[in-house]
Structure 1
Amino acid sequence: AVINIITQNAKDLNGLHTSAGWGSFDTQQYRASWGKQFDNSAEAALHFNFTDTNGINSPIGADSQSLKGLPSNAPGNSQLTEGRYDLEWDLGYKDFKLDGRFINKKTGTFFGQASILNDSRTEQNYNDYFLRLSRDWKIQDKLTINTQLFHDFFSSDNIWQLTPSQFARQGFQNTRTGGEIQADYQLSAAQTLIGGFSYAKEQQGDLISELGIDPQHLMLAPPITAERTRKHWGVYLEDVWDPLANLRLTVGARYDRYNDFGGTFNPRMGFNWEVVKNYSLKFSYGTAYRAPAFGELGLANNNTLLGNPTLKPEEVKTFETGIIAHPIKNLTAQATYYHSAINQIISRVTPCPAASCIGNSGSLVAEGVELETRYDFDGKLQGSYISANHVLQRSIQLDQQLADVPRYRTNLTANWAFDNTWSSFAHVLIKGETLRTAGDIRGSVPGYALVDLGLLGKNLFAKKVDVSFNVYNLFDKRYYDPSLARLSFVGDYQMPGITFFGHVSLRF
């Protein structure tokens, strides 16, 4: 496990911060951050992060090759190595801001293409960067306009093992370039209108497709996808109105237009009403969509899965209602019911010329109840809290409970602050059993409970040093996440046992 670090701005940093962490699976993480505010209204923050790990090496007893009696790397272990570095920047001058991020990542695989256990010659290489220039314009006291231009780039260059003696190299580049303008107009102290327009152009190109018996000397092969271009614009309007001191209404709508599959209109509405002091009702309804990805539209020259250029976007209708209560000081409790209906689901369908194809098939209904509560201590125990979250969920597709979705999930957390310097936490995750897909004769995947513990020391040694030490899966519970039947995978994915991660940070 790797610690999650929240990115700080120039004001928060005000100098140089460095950190290092080490943990199980030969995991190591190093980070350096620098930030400064200048006298001429300029500011800058830079962050560099490096992570390297050997991964969990989950045992894999058999794959689709060994099940047929063919040469195979199984039994063996997954190759979940990962090396990653990323650079973030946030530069500002008066009302202008330039921010972005670059990520380079090299990883192994849990289970490769065609349900084959891959060896160390498998490589997955990814590059991703994002760049955005924005400015806020204060036109008058009641009117603010935000403008931004952005460019997003993603590339993939992967070597997969199709059999122990056959390899494939596949890659592509995706770019997304565009801009957005948004206006916020305050009609009154109780009502604000928000409207905007966005435009983006997406492109996929620089395709790589090679095959051969030696991953270092592969030959050209027909590409498994196609070069594509998509243009998309959208316009939206939202009204946020407080007709009463204890009531907020929100009404809005958005229209999006794509050159490759047409337009979609999505309204939304909701309210938050404090019926009596410390007790509020909330309600929201809205629709949304998911546009088909380039790979879903154009996947080709593949014996196992083919794309579909006539796909339509998935459509989602969501309803949510609940109550928020503060029955006593420092205690918050919340109960929420949600219901989502997804139509024109993009998924694998049969029959088709390949083993399966991508198509719009059927609908899915997901509903559930989420219960949350948290109590924050005060006085000498300020900084300590206990919290609980419990979700009961049900997802139905084709009149059957959806597979691989746990029936319930519970999170229990306790954070104890010994003083202003030292604190500890305990976390318990309880996950219910998950069902199999129709036709899968294996039994349900058992549920499990995991316990994590942590210790944190802040502002040590003249307030220049922070330290932490975390233990995950304290009781070394052996547990599994479900594998799909179509992967010809024996058993399920074994997840990591007890793991450790320690972290030290210094401020200069």
Structure 2
Amino acid sequence: IVDRRNFLQGPGGVLLPAPGFLTTDELGVLPNAFADSRTNVFGLLQDEWSVAPDWTVTLGVRFDHFSNFGLTINPRASVVWNANPTLTVKALYGSAFRAPTFLEETEGSGQIARGNQNLEPEMIDTAEIVLEKRWSDAFETSVTGYAYWTNDLIEVVSSPGTGIPTFENTSGTRGAGFELEGRLEVNDNVSVRTSYAYQSAELRDSGQRVSGVPQHLLYAEGRWMMTPEWSGLIGVKYVGNRSRAASDIRPPINGYALANLSLEYRPRQISGLFVRVAATNLLDKRALEPSPNLIFPTDDIPLEGRKIIARIGVSR
């Protein structure tokens, strides 16, 4: 492992410029990570029962054993009811985990955030109800309601006493929401697809809204086969406002809407050949994603402005 950097970490985790892009040996500090290993053994059991002509039940469980933190068991279940030829109802439950990464566990003093060898894996439990309706061959909709609970989320927090940012397990979050989706084939040449999602997520220990998570997401796209050789697509994506962490004094992050457009030509004389021109962020809107306040105290992360790409290729 070779670790080069152009900064040093001062008291309280403050970043200071280094005299160049140097190795950790040249800077006289410990690297972010050392050569390490761990062993993971897992097994999966799953079975499916057709308990009735229109009812299906699936049960499963996964076992994982990590040499550094032990055993985790995660069950999963689903029930599917084909109520009639055009309506399907699903109930699903699942649990999952995420093991700490080597970087999150490494205690290198040169890290922007100090590692923690005592981390536990993150855990999540999710429950969903799904209704899928086919109104006709050209029109389909679905509605999904869900809730989830997380435990031992790994986050960067200020260590008591030293103030150094450190990876720690936190109490976790809880959330609920719903999603709406629709697809309409207007005719053989025009189709429309839309989706909307609402989510309410809060910290389990304080009840505060989870930072950086939008409550509203919207997407819509239309496809048009203008001729057998020419086709076009336009899509619009909206991301709602996002709140800050309680310790972050910056104002909430504004939402944004971005439009994308593409045009494609496939000559019938040359099989598989296509020419595509695509524009993302067509209106060149300013859009920001949240930055962690412990590392970047002022600026958020800007998304790309307008970008136009032309491509020529062959598909099989």
TM-score under structure 2 length normalisation: 0.88
Distance 2:279 2:95 in 1: 41
In structure 1, the partner of 2:174 is: 365
Picking from 41, 47, 50, the partner of 1:242 is 50
Asked if 1:302 corresponds to 2:110, the answer is: yes
The answer (yes or no) to whether the contact 1:346–1:358 under 8 Å persists in 2 is yes
The answer (yes or no) to whether the contact 2:231–2:264 under 8 Å persists in 1 is yes
In structure 2, the partner of 1:386 is: 192
C-alpha displacement at 1:310, in angstroms? 1.6
In structure 1, the partner of 2:38 is: 230
Distance 2:70 2:161 in 1: 26
User: What letter matches 2:182 in structure 1?
Assistant: T
**How many residue pairs align between the two structures?**
305
Distance 1:464 1:360 in 2: 52
User: What letter matches 1:453 in structure 2?
Assistant: L
SS at match of 1:229: coil
SS at match of 1:211: helix
User: What letter matches 2:252 in structure 1?
Assistant: S
The answer (yes or no) to whether the contact 1:168–1:210 under 8 Å persists in 2 is no
Distance 2:135 2:73 in 1: 40
C-alpha displacement at 1:367, in angstroms? 2.0
C-alpha displacement at 1:260, in angstroms? 1.2
In structure 2, the partner of 1:161 is: 6
Compared CA separation, residues 431 and 224, structure 1 to 2 (3 A):
closer
Per-residue CA deviations over 1:366-401 (Å, capped at 9, x if unaligned) read: 32211101112454x2xx310001111121113110
Identify the range of structure 1 (344-353 vs 495-504) with the bigger mean alpha-carbon deviation: 344-353
Distance 1:158 1:376 in 2: 54
Distance 2:196 2:6 in 1: 41
SS at match of 1:327: strand
User: What letter matches 1:166 in structure 2?
Assistant: P
Asked if 1:375 corresponds to 2:210, the answer is: no
Distance 1:464 1:278 in 2: 36
The answer (yes or no) to whether the contact 1:395–1:402 under 8 Å persists in 2 is yes
C-alpha displacement at 1:241, in angstroms? 2.1
User: What letter matches 1:412 in structure 2?
Assistant: A
Distance 2:133 2:294 in 1: 46
User: What letter matches 2:171 in structure 1?
Assistant: G
SS at match of 2:95: strand
Distance 1:222 1:274 in 2: 59
Asked if 1:430 corresponds to 2:242, the answer is: no
**Aligned counterparts, 1:316-465, within 5 A:** 316-349=124-157, 350-351=159-160, 353=162, 355-379=164-188, 381=189, 384-397=190-203, 398-465=206-273
Structure 2: segments with no counterpart, 5+ residues:
8-15
User: What letter matches 2:167 in structure 1?
Assistant: I
Distance 2:51 2:82 in 1: 13
User: What letter matches 2:195 in structure 1?
Assistant: N
C-alpha displacement at 1:427, in angstroms? 0.2
Distance 2:18 2:263 in 1: 48
Structure 1: segments with no counterpart, 5+ residues:
1-155, 171-208, 213-219
Distance 2:147 2:19 in 1: 46
Distance 1:313 1:458 in 2: 49
TM-score under structure 1 length normalisation: 0.56
The answer (yes or no) to whether the contact 1:465–1:505 under 8 Å persists in 2 is yes
Distance 1:491 1:260 in 2: 37
In structure 2, the partner of 1:10 is: none
C-alpha displacement at 1:407, in angstroms? 1.4
Picking from 86, 96, 101, the partner of 1:278 is 86
Compared CA separation, residues 463 and 414, structure 1 to 2 (3 A):
same
